[in-house]
A and B are shown apart, each in its own frame.
Chain A
Amino acid sequence: MAVAKEIRSKISSVKNTQKITKAMEMVAASKMRRAQDRMRAARPYAEKIRAAIGHLRFANPDFKHPFLIERPVKTLGIIVISTDRGLCGSLNINLLKATLIAVREAEARGERVQICAIGTKALQLFKRLKYPIAASATHLGDRPQTPQLIGTVKVMLDAYRSGEIDRLVLVHNVFLNSMSQRAEVAQLLPVEPTGAGELQERWDYIYEPSAAEILDGILMRYVESQVYRGAVENVACEMAARMVAMKSASDNAGKLIEELQLVYNKARQAAITKELSEIVGGAAAV
């Protein structure tokens, strides 16, 4: 019965694993809902700020802010938002693949790249590939907060201001629904023009203290809010992906248990048959 015992212990170990994956699935599901709520909560701010920038561009301020001017690109800045932990299916792989494609394209155009890594997974990869990492932030947790991101974003903004980088993009996961997420590359700087033409009349704001200072503050907050939204959305994606991955892991464990149970039953039956035939054979010999 040695084989049967081995199989039995295997079954119980798979059952234990299944318990863990089931628990992780449920935790991820509830965290995903909360992350989605935070994603929604962040929307009005981004919309309002975008509208204000749209007005600003349209209202023709008396000077051009560097964040709004296109210039020839020598170095590309990339902010990539990944998760800190694994066990979330192909989420990080797809994201990092998209990032690497963007990097290769930039290099093909003869541009250098500078990476800003948010999340350990991105940090690990670019560290291994030996790309220059300008700034990083990890362990944001399930509730990323703006103060955690301000410094990281500022490094890139300063680099843009000083001309170290000429274009800044954000690579992040987009939450389509709980079953599908997509990696996306979005341009942060220079700020792309948003829906002009809504405002027909020409008017200008009264700026206090000056257009330059206000625009600077607003554009900086705009970029920060985009990165913040990316981080929050990333948490929602992570949880959704983990939920799906853990669900299929639990299902696979269930299938494995069934198979092992069958093997176990066969082994047990074989042992019984063998014993019986031995008894019968023994009786016949006597």
Chain B
Amino acid sequence: MANTIHVDIVSAEGQIYAGDASMVFAPAVEGEIGIAPRHAPLLTNLKPGEVRVQAPGEAEELSFFIGGGALEVQPHQVTVLADTAVRAHDLDEAAALEARRRAQDAMQERTDKIELAEAQAELVRAAAQLRAIERLRKKR
């Protein structure tokens, strides 16, 4: 146990890897870092790149591509919080604008599909009510 460190690589959409390693390499924003067991607690952002995991007793390294994220290191545990999407300030900004525009469109449009669907639903409801009334009348 002393010479390994537990690694979790998770993204919002699922767990990517969990296991022990003797060494982990990650692309931190300030340059690639290597983490050995009993590393000091560290918290850093990651840029898009490769996370490499050296499993104990294995010659080959496991390699995972991540689109950025964050890395948390505690003496016996490394957690990689990977982004599933490629993040950049401009891209996020564009996505936000898009979301805002959608909301505005929805508030402005008068005769759009939504209202057609609503009208149809209303019609169905009215027809059902009529049927129920007819039934009641017949029973009486």
Nearest residue (CB) in A for B84 is A146
Q: Which residues of A contact B102 (CB under 8 A)?
A: 135-138
Question: Range of interface residues on chain B?
Answer: 35 or more
Tell me if B44 and A214 are in contact (CB < 8 A): yes
Q: How many A-B residue pairs have CB under 8 A?
A: 143
Q: Which residues of B contact A218 (CB under 8 A)?
A: 43, 70, 81
Tell me if B95 and A203 are in contact (CB < 8 A): no
A contact patch SS? helix
Tell me if B95 and A151 are in contact (CB < 8 A): yes
> How many angstroms from the CA of A124 to the CA of B120 in the assembled complex?
14
Tell me if B99 and A152 are in contact (CB < 8 A): yes
Nearest residue (CB) in B for A85 is B117
Tell me if A214 and B85 are in contact (CB < 8 A): no
Q: Residue-by-residue, is A151-163 near B (CB-CB < 8 Å gives 1, otherwise 0)?
A: 1101100100000
Tell me if A151 and B99 are in contact (CB < 8 A): yes
CB-contact partner of A48 in B43, B79, B95, B96, under 8 A: B79
Listed stretches A15-23, A38-46, A99-107, A268-276; interface member: A38-46
Which residues 22-62 in B have Cβ within 8 Å of A in the complex?
28-30, 40-45
**B121 on the A face (CB < 8 A):** yes
**A213 on the B face (CB < 8 A):** yes
Q: Residue-by-residue, is B59-89 near A (CB-CB < 8 Å gives 1, otherwise 0)?
A: 0000000000110100000010101110100
**A191 on the B face (CB < 8 A):** no
Contact A56 B95, CB 8 Å, known A134-B100, A146-B13, A208-B29: no
Listed stretches A1-9, A62-70, A221-229, A233-241; interface member: A221-229
> How many angstroms from the CA of A145 to the CA of B106 in the assembled complex?
22
CB-contact partner of B114 in A38, A42, A44, A124, under 8 A: A124
Q: Which residues of A contact B30 (CB under 8 A)?
A: 208-209
**B97 on the A face (CB < 8 A):** yes
Tell me if A213 and B45 are in contact (CB < 8 A): yes
CB-contact partner of B72 in A52, A147, A154, under 8 A: A52
Q: Which residues of A contact B87 (CB under 8 A)?
A: 150
**B1 on the A face (CB < 8 A):** no
Question: Range of interface residues on chain A?
Answer: 35 or more
Tell me if B95 and A49 are in contact (CB < 8 A): no
Q: Which residues of A contact B44 (CB under 8 A)?
A: 207-209, 214
Tell me if A127 and B106 are in contact (CB < 8 A): yes
Q: Which residues of A contact B92 (CB under 8 A)?
A: 150-151, 154
> How many angstroms from the CA of A221 to the CA of B84 in the assembled complex?
11
CB-CB nearest 9 A-B residue pairs: A151-B95, A41-B14, A135-B99, A151-B99, A208-B44, A154-B96, A152-B99, A147-B85, A205-B43
Given contacts A204-B41, A205-B42, A228-B12, 14 further A-B contacts (CB under 8 A): A41-B14, A52-B70, A127-B106, A136-B106, A146-B13, A150-B95, A151-B97, A154-B95, A154-B96, A203-B41, A205-B72, A209-B29, A218-B81, A221-B70
CB-defined A-B contacts under 8 Å, sample of 27: A42-B14, A45-B11, A52-B79, A52-B81, A56-B43, A133-B104, A134-B100, A136-B99, A138-B102, A145-B85, A146-B12, A146-B85, A150-B85, A150-B95, A151-B99, A206-B41, A206-B42, A208-B29, A208-B30, A209-B29, A211-B43, A214-B70, A217-B45, A217-B70, A218-B43, A221-B69, A221-B81
Which residues on A are within 8 Å of B, measured CB to CB? 38, 41-42, 44-46, 48-49, 52, 55-56, 86, 116-117, 120, 123-124, 127, 133-138, 145-147, 150-152, 154-155, 158, 203-209, 211, 213-214, 217-218, 221, 224-225, 228
